[in-house]
Amino acid sequence: MDKDIIVIGGGPGGYVAAIRAAHLGANVCLIERDKVGGTCLNRGCIPTKALWRNAEILNTLKHIKEFGIEIDGYSINVEEVQNRKQKIVDQLVSGIEQLLNANKVEVISGTASLKDKNTVVVALADGNSKELTAKNIIIATGSKTTLPPIEGANLEGILTSDEILNFKEIPKRLTIIGGGVIAMEFAGIFAAMGSAVTVVNRSSILKRVDSDIVKRFSVSAKKKGVEIITDCTMDKIEKRDGLYYLLGENKKGKFEIEAEALLAATGRDPVLEGINLEGLGIEFSKRGIRVDSNYETNIEGIYAIGDVNGKIMLAHAASHQGITVAERIMGIENSFHSPVPDCIFVFPEISSVGITEDEAKEQGITYKASKFMFGANGKALSLGEGEGFVKVLSNEQEEIIGVHIMGPHASDLIHEGTLAISTKLKIDDIKNTIHAHPTLSEAFHEAVCGLKGEAIHMVQPRK
C-alpha cells in the first residue's frame, strides 16, 4: 500500500483527520480539488464571520451616541470590506497548508474517485491521472449549495451563499428565500449595511432553535429592519428590468416582493457525485452516505465524515468526527460522544447545546427550566447589549440537559453549557463554582441557580 490513509476532501473534517492521523504516525495523503479549508474557510464560516464583524461595528455606530461619542458621518467601502475578508481567508488557508506540510501530509490537488476499497484515482489539473492505494480511506467531500424547487429559481443572477459573499455593491433591497442559519445570518449582515431585507420561508425560521428564543429573536430582527414572512407558499420568481420578483401567498393573501438582489438560502446537500459510491456498493441516500457509530460505511476501511454523511452539518462536528476516525484507525478507541454546540451569528448572537424545551415536552422528559435576562447583567449593560437571556434546563436528577442563549457573546458562553452536559454536571456543581464579576458568564450561573429558586439577581416566581 502507498499510504496508511487517504483523505478525500480538505475541509474542516478532512484536513483535521489528516493532521491527527499524522500525529499518530500514519502515512497520510490528502486530496483536494479546490483549496484546503473547504467550504467553511473559503466560502462559509470564516468569510461570513468577517462580514458579520463589519455588521457588528455598523450596528454599534447606529447607537454610538448612547456611549457619549459624536460622529459626523461614515460610509462603507465595499472594496476594502472584501479585501479584509479575503486577507483573513488567505491567512488561514496558508496556515493550514503549513500545518499539513509540517506534519508531512502529502497534499495532491485534483478530483478523487474510488476504484476499489483500497484504490483512489485522482484526476489532476494537467489532464493526467494518478492512482494511490491505502489501507483506509476517509471521504470528506462536504456539501454544496442548493436552489429551492420554485419556478424561476435558476434565473441568471440569483445568488447562493457562495456568490453573495463576493458582493460588489450593497443592494438597496434584498430578498432571502429560506429561514435557517445561513438565511438569518446574511439577513442580519445586509440589514446592518443598509439593505431593506425581506426573509421569506415556507415554515417558521430557525427550526432547531428553542421556540422561546425564536419568538424574541423575530421581534428583535424586525426592529433591526428585517421583514420576516413565514408559513407561506412561494410560487414563482420573475426577473423584470433587472429586478427580481418573488410571487407567493400567505394567510394575508397573495404577495409580490421586489428587490435588486435575491438570495436562495434553503440549505445544503452532501457532495456525493463523482466519487463512484455506486461502483463500490457504498450505501447512501440524498441525505448523505450511511455510516455507523464509528463513521464507517458498509465497506470496511472506508469512512465518511462531516457534511457528506448528513448527520450534523457543522464544521466543528466534522473536525470532531475526523479526529475520532483518525484515532480509531490508529488503534485509539473513544466511545465518548460530546454534545454538539450550535452557534448562529445574528444580532444578538444565538447559541445552544442539548435539548430544547420543545424537545423535552415532545419526549415526555420531566424537566425544570430557568431564564436569566441579560438586562440584569452588569457586563451586558456596560457593553450596551442588554438584549436577550440565558435559558437552562435540568432533569429529575438535577443534571443540566439543555442550554440556550440569545445575547452578547453567546457563541463564547455556550461552552460552559457544553461541558456541563457532556460531563453530567448537576445544578449544585455550577452553583458552587465561583463566576467572576462583572462577566457575562454570571448570567449562566444565575440561570442555573434559578432552577432551584436560588438566583440572587432576579425575583423568584412565587411557589
CATH of the domain at 374: 3.30.390.30
- When pLDDT is cut at 50, 70 and 90, the band that residue 459 belongs to is confident
190 and 179 part of one domain: yes
What's residue 463's pLDDT?
59
185 and 277 part of one domain: no
Residue 271 predicted with pLDDT over 90: yes
34 and 90 part of one domain: yes
8 and 132 part of one domain: yes
125 and 274 part of one domain: yes
Residue 63 is among the residues annotated as catalytic for this protein: no
Q: Name the catalytic one among 415, 437, 445, 457.
A: 437
Q: For residue range 94-138, what is the model confidence (pLDDT) as tens digits?
A: 999 999 999 999 999 999 999 999 999 999 988 899 999 999 999
Domain count, the chain: 3
Pairing of strands 268-270, 143-145: antiparallel
Tell me the sheet residues that pair with 243: 240
Residue 451 predicted with pLDDT over 70: yes
List, in order, residues 6 or more apart from 261 with CB less than 8 Å away: 159, 164, 171, 173, 174, 175, 244
- Confirm whether 455 is domain-assigned: no
Tally helices (H) and strands (E) across the chain: 14, 22
139 and 273 part of one domain: yes
- State the CATH number of the domain containing residue 48: 3.50.50.60
369 and 245 part of one domain: no
Residue 16 predicted with pLDDT over 70: yes
Instruction: Tell me the pTM.
Output: 0.96
- Confirm whether 52 is domain-assigned: yes
Q: For residue range 63-76, what is the model confidence (pLDDT) as tens digits?
A: 999 999 999 889 99
Domain extent, residue 423, equals: 348-450
7 and 133 part of one domain: yes
112 and 182 part of one domain: no
132 and 280 part of one domain: yes
Given 224, 251, 266, the domain boundary residue is: 266
- Confirm whether 336 is domain-assigned: no
Q: Is 141 helix (H, G, I), strand (E, B) or coil?
A: coil
Q: For residue range 214-249, what is the model confidence (pLDDT) as tens digits?
A: 999 999 999 999 999 999 999 999 999 999 999 999
What's residue 333's pLDDT?
85
256 and 279 part of one domain: no
Calculate the average pLDDT of the chain: 96
Spatial distance between the Cα atoms of 100 and 108, rounded to a whole number of angstroms? 11
- Confirm whether 458 is domain-assigned: no
17 and 63 part of one domain: yes
- Confirm whether 155 is domain-assigned: no
